[in-house]
């Protein structure tokens, strides 16, 4: 008995470690069982069976998750939400201490899809209400802002699922309270609960979650709010199946400009999804598409945060039938999560972002089980596209370096007043500062402050936003350097995110640019015997009509060109700009003509 007691103590001592000690009864010695090696072996076995669902990968391991913190990284389309509704929820009702489940997600559309799944599974509202609740992170944060204690909100829920948990990192630079503050509040209130974090893009958020859990337990222990053994509650189990991501269905194509892209999408027999990095660009893209004359405006839908209505027919079709109504859907990041597009007619996707998280999430909207071949379009972008954002992130990092806890405490009133303004600095402070209770945050521990002050609310630096701003500064700097050398290097770098080699890229020429060049030359040749005043108006109209294509790198004065610059442009296109005096009026007349060559019989 003493012998076995010693063994039990050894096992218990190491229970909090990622590697567990299992007793080798035949060898009479303890040995280290590498859980990660076991999982990798299991992934290989599953692959041999051609099974890609999360429920198969996890098996029955969820039955030993009570009180632990679980991190699940699995590619889109592997059935994470199905695993939650079909497996975890059923087990929670019957075996998992008969507890209720709280599901948190980051988009209203994803919440709607969960609701549709629950409606099909349960027979009545009372049955749903007694088993599970689905909320968005934003709804939860808003309730807390209205002074509803989190303890009351999560009362009775012993199992909390954080779906699309990359939200805590991805949205942190515009929703500090709902990310940085919310995660710490939940970590504290849910310390004894089972918490499951799931995402297809866990790389950036995983260390933040682990640090928050660790800091929470440290703070609770130091303040005496957690006197019992926290070993089991602080244990983090990491299930990483990211290597199973399959992007073979995507064929990469690069076009030189948006006009060429619009022509190709308008001509395509397949439906298209276009993700843009700002909503203002959507209207301009609709104009470019309709200008091709190959698609009607009614076949194009634009969605963004301002017009995103979950009751609209387009959104309902996406949420319930997973089909696209329009031929071309243009959207911002409002659809980067929570949408499963299982429409065999979808064959094109365009993504404009520098964030790896957003890129992979947007790409994952097109599900492999329904779309077995899809063209992933890249539009070449020059260094100017990245320069302004790089400089903005650099400036924000420099401002962050000046913000310290002492600075915030000393000039508290200044920051309170400033954040009410509508200027650039106020926007920056709203991004990087969070007003929250001291006992709810675990990233700052000011030992020299009095207990009375510690229990008050105050400003704290949003560490999640700080991390993201720094990461984006690095990303934009890298893309800027690549674009300076060769714009295609940016495309190659993004292709590497999905395991694609540069030689797999199909590079298209610009039929649009060739036609515009013909129109430009034809327009130049219209200048025949123009007076000085008529020439001046001609140059203004020329710049206005062709500025984007042919004058991007030519300095114009008040929207017009000098005679020397017009002459240089003409020479570039094999034309000559000349002036002659009218024989009758003796007025200087200007003309543009083709250069006559000997081979043309001149």
3-state secondary structure of 589: strand
If you average pLDDT over residues 564-585, what whole number do you get?
Answer: 88
Q: Is the pLDDT of residue 53 over 60?
A: yes
Q: How far apart are CA 219 and CA 54, in angstroms?
A: 34
Write down the H helix ranges in 34-192: 35-48, 54-58, 80-82, 89-94, 108-121, 125-129, 137-145, 150-153, 167-170, 176, 182-189
Answer whether 160's CB lies under 8 Å from 202's CB: no
Instruction: Please write the tens of the pLDDT for every residue from 345-389.
Output: 999 999 999 999 999 999 999 988 889 899 999 999 989 889 999
Q: Which residues contact 237 (CB under 8 A, 6 or more apart)?
A: 35, 65, 68, 69, 70, 71
pLDDT of amino acid 233:
79
In angstroms and rounded to an integer, the radius of gyration of the C-alpha atoms of the chain is 30
Name the more confident of 6 and 549: 549
If you average pLDDT over residues 42-60, what whole number do you get?
Answer: 66
HEC profile of 241-253: CHHHCCCCCEEEE
If you average pLDDT over residues 14-24, what whole number do you get?
Answer: 35
pLDDT of amino acid 144:
92
Q: Is the pLDDT of residue 17 over 60?
A: no
pLDDT of amino acid 69:
95
Q: Is the pLDDT of residue 560 over 80?
A: no
Nearest to 271 by CA among 306, 322, 236, 219: 322
Instruction: Please write the tens of the pLDDT for every residue from 138-156.
Output: 999 999 989 899 999 999 9
Answer whether 310's CB lies under 8 Å from 355's CB: no
The rounded Cα 158 to chain-centroid distance in angstroms is: 30
Q: Which residue(s) pair with 460 in the sheet?
A: 434
Instruction: Please write the tens of the pLDDT for every residue from 223-263.
Output: 776 656 555 678 899 999 999 999 999 999 999 989 999 99
If you average pLDDT over residues 306-321, what whole number do you get?
Answer: 78
pLDDT of amino acid 554:
60
Q: Is the pLDDT of residue 517 over 60?
A: yes
Name the more confident of 546 and 411: 411
Token pair in block for residue 296: 């009607």
Buried b (16+ CB within 10 A) or exposed e, 95-120: ebeebbbbbbbbbbbbbbbbeebbee
pLDDT of amino acid 346:
95
Q: Domains along the chain?
A: 34-244 (3.40.50.300), 250-379 (3.40.50.300), 386-471 (no CATH), 511-600 (3.90.1150)
Token match 């929250």: residue? 436
pLDDT of amino acid 518:
86
Q: Is the pLDDT of residue 332 over 90?
A: no
Instruction: Please write the tens of the pLDDT for every residue from 420-472.
Output: 898 999 999 999 999 988 878 887 765 444 444 445 788 999 999 999 999 99
Buried b (16+ CB within 10 A) or exposed e, 36-72: eeebeebeeebeeeeebebbebbeeebeebbbbbbbb
The rounded Cα 537 to chain-centroid distance in angstroms is: 46
If you average pLDDT over residues 51-76, what whole number do you get?
Answer: 90
Q: Is the pLDDT of residue 319 over 50?
A: yes
pLDDT of amino acid 597:
62
The tally of CA atoms less than 13 A away on the side-chain side of residue 353 is 23
The CA–CA distances, whole Å, from 65 to 95, 97, 126 equal 12, 12, 27
Dihedral Cα 49, 54, 58, 59, nearest 10 deg: -60
Mean pLDDT of the chain: 84
480 class by beta-carbon count within 10 Å (0-12 exposed, 13-18 middle, 19+ buried): buried
Nearest to 101 by CA among 61, 69, 126, 133: 133
Q: Is the pLDDT of residue 201 over 70?
A: yes
561 class by beta-carbon count within 10 Å (0-12 exposed, 13-18 middle, 19+ buried): buried
């Amino acid at each position: 008995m003493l012998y076995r007691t010693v063994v039990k103590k050894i096992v218990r001592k190491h229970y909090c470690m990622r590697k567990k000690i299992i007793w080798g009864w035949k060898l009479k010695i303890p040995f280290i069982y590498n859980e990660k090696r076991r999982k990798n072996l299991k992934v290989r076995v599953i692959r041999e069976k051609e099974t890609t669902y999360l429920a198969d990968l996890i098996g029955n391991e969820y039955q030993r998750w009570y009180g632990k913190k679980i991190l699940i990284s699995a590619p889109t389309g592997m059935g994470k939400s199905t695993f939650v509704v079909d497996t975890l929820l059923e087990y929670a009702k019957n075996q998992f201490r008969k507890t209720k489940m709280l599901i948190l997600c980051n988009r209203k559309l994803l919440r709607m899809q969960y609701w549709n799944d629950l409606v099909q599974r349960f027979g009545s509202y009372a049955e749903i209400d007694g088993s599970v609740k689905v909320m968005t992170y934003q709804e939860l944060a808003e309730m807390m802002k209205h002074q509803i204690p989190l303890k009351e909100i999560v009362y009775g829920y012993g199992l909390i699922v954080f779906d699309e948990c990359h939200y805590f990192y991805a949205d942190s630079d515009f929703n500090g309270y709902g990310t940085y503050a919310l995660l710490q509040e939940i970590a504290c209130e849910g310390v004894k609960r089972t918490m499951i974090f799931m995402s297809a893009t866990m790389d950036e958020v995983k260390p933040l979650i682990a640090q928050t859990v660790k800091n929470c337990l440290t703070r609770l222990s130091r303040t005496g709010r957690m006197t019992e053994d926290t070993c089991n509650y602080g244990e983090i189990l990491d299930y990483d199946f990211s290597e199973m991501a399959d992007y073979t269905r995507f064929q990469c194509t690069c076009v030189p400009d948006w006009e060429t892209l619009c022509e190709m999408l308008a001509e395509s027999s397949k439906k298209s999804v276009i993700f843009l990095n700002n909503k203002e660009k959507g209207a301009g893209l609709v104009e470019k598409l309709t200008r091709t004359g190959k698609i009607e405006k009614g076949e194009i839908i634009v969605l963004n945060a301002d017009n995103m209505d979950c009751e609209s027919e387009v959104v309902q079709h996406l949420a319930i039938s997973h089909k696209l109504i329009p031929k071309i859907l243009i959207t911002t990041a409002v659809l980067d999560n929570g949408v499963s597009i299982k429409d065999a007619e979808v064959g094109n996707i365009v993504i404009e972002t520098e964030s790896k998280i957003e890129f992979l999430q947007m790409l994952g909207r097109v599900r492999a089980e329904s779309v077995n071949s899809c063209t992933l379009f890249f539009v070449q972008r020059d260094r100017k596209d990245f320069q302004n954002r790089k400089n903005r992130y650099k400036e924000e990092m420099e401002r962050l370096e000046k913000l310290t806890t002492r600075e915030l405490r000393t000039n508290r009133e200044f920051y309170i007043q400033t954040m009410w303004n509508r200027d650039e600095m106020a926007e920056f402070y709203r991004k990087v500062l969070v007003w929250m209770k001291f006992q709810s945050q675990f990233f700052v521990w000011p030992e020299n402050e009095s207990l009375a002050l510690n229990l008050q609310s105050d400003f704290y630096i949003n560490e999640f936003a700080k991390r993201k701003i720094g990461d984006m500064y690095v990303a934009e700097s890298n893309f800027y350097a690549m674009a300076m050398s060769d714009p295609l290097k940016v495309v190659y770098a993004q292709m590497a995110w999905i395991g694609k080699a540069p030689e797999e890229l199909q590079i298209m020429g610009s039929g649009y640019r060739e036609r515009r060049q013909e129109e430009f030359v034809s327009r130049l040749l219209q200048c025949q015997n123009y007076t000085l005043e008529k020439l001046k108006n001609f140059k203004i109209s020329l710049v206005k009509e062709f500025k984007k294509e042919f004058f991007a790198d030519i300095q114009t004065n008040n929207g017009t060109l000098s005679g020397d610059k017009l002459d240089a442009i003409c020479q570039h296109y094999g034309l000559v700009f000349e002036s002659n005096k009218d024989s009758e009026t003796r007025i200087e007349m200007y003309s543009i003509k083709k250069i006559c060559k000997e081979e043309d019989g001149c």
